[in-house]
Amino acid sequence: MNFQKEKRAILDLYAALDGAAPDRIGSVLSEAMAPDTLWRGFHPFGELVGPDAVAEQFWAPLRHSLTRLQRRQDIFFAGHNELDGFAGTWVVSMGHLMGLFDRAWLGIPPTGKMAFLRYCEFNKVENGRIVEAAMYFDIPHLMMQAGLDPFPPQTAAHLVQPGPLTHDGLLFRDAPEAEGPATLAAINAMIGDLGTWQSGLPLEEELAQTWHDDMIWWGPAGIGATYTIKRYAKQHSGPFRAAFSDRSKTRHLARVAEGHYGGFFGWPNFTARHTGGFMGMPGSDKPGEMRVIDIYRREGDKLAENWIFIDLLHFWKTQGVDILKRTVEIADV
């Protein structure tokens, strides 16, 4: 497997985009993206079509607010998409966009200090150009850095999250071919165990089949990060499963791996009905959508670390609560 052309297309885009003047962002994206590229972003952005829309609605306002922006990548890899018969090639980047929070963004008040926007991006590359993309980012995490409190106290830890323990997540050179399938196998085994939460095993025993005991689940703001199977079961997985019913089957649009790293995204990944208690919020009769990116590091034949991006703003909006609007309105009072 050789992903160098696809990786180079994305790295060249990042170099040009990160150094572009504001009035050049649209031109840079137009060179890298097909005119009809479908771009998916967390609430309030949703689906955008074409580089001009992405530049005008996402990148230009973000760059206006987070000045002197730096892209600080922790993971970078590529792979063929298992879900289309390994036909399409996707390039994945994960890390933080760091800048000086000098002007309001989405109504979030600026701090004049360093701020980190957690992001993970999947780009499908064909003939040297992006034809489809998912750009997921943790807006509540940025809100909390600005002193806002969008959610009740979370069950796990709120952190600026580091990259892999092994510091080997930037696969600018292609990894040995046999490692990617091994990572996909570990991810698929975990998905198979997860199913619809009906494995029949006690939760910690189920998790131990596919996770190392000292696993780390780097969850989004509002839930937080948690360490070891026992604490993950207590601080997230157990409460999460207890708070939902009528979980749909898992639906992903892309699932790829290279080396010891892999991941997937959906739009949505699944739907479920919140019966109450998740994130301290009341239940609802309406099914909610979970738009998620998961990135994994495999160690041996089990998973060791997991970085998660969940569009919690969109999920709660499907439940009738506009967290973003409500929080910034309170901040303005």
CATH of the domain at 223: 3.10.450.50
Q: State whether 185 and 62 are in the same domain.
A: no
Contacts with 40 (C-beta within 8 Å, 6 or more apart), sequence order: 46, 47, 48, 133, 134, 135, 136, 267, 291
Q: State whether 37 and 140 are in the same domain.
A: yes
Q: State whether 112 and 195 are in the same domain.
A: no
**Residue 58, domain extent:** 4-145
Q: Look at residue 154 and tell me if it is in a domain.
A: no
Q: Look at residue 164 and tell me if it is in a domain.
A: no
Q: State whether 139 and 184 are in the same domain.
A: no
Cα 289 → chain centroid: 15
- Hunting for tokens 């041996």 — which residue is that? 300
Q: State whether 113 and 254 are in the same domain.
A: no
Q: What is the pLDDT along the chain (333 residues), one digit of tens a residue?
A: 799 999 999 999 999 999 899 899 999 999 999 999 999 999 999 999 999 999 999 999 999 999 999 999 999 999 999 999 999 999 999 999 999 999 999 999 999 999 999 999 999 999 999 999 999 999 999 999 999 999 988 888 888 999 999 999 999 999 999 999 999 999 999 998 775 555 568 999 999 999 999 999 999 999 999 999 999 999 999 999 999 999 998 899 999 999 999 999 999 999 999 999 999 899 999 999 999 999 999 999 999 999 999 999 999 999 999 999 999 887 775
Q: How much is the pLDDT for 157?
A: 86
Strands, sheet with 46-49, edge to edge from the N-terminal-most edge strand: 46-49, 33-41, 129-137, 114-126, 89-101, 66-80
- Provide the domain count of the chain: 2
Residue 187 CB-half CA count within 13 A? 27
Round to whole Å and give the CA distance between 127 and 222. Answer: 39
Q: State whether 103 and 184 are in the same domain.
A: no
Round to whole Å and give the CA distance between 279 and 276. Answer: 9
Q: How much is the pLDDT for 193?
A: 76
- Hunting for tokens 């230009």 — which residue is that? 60
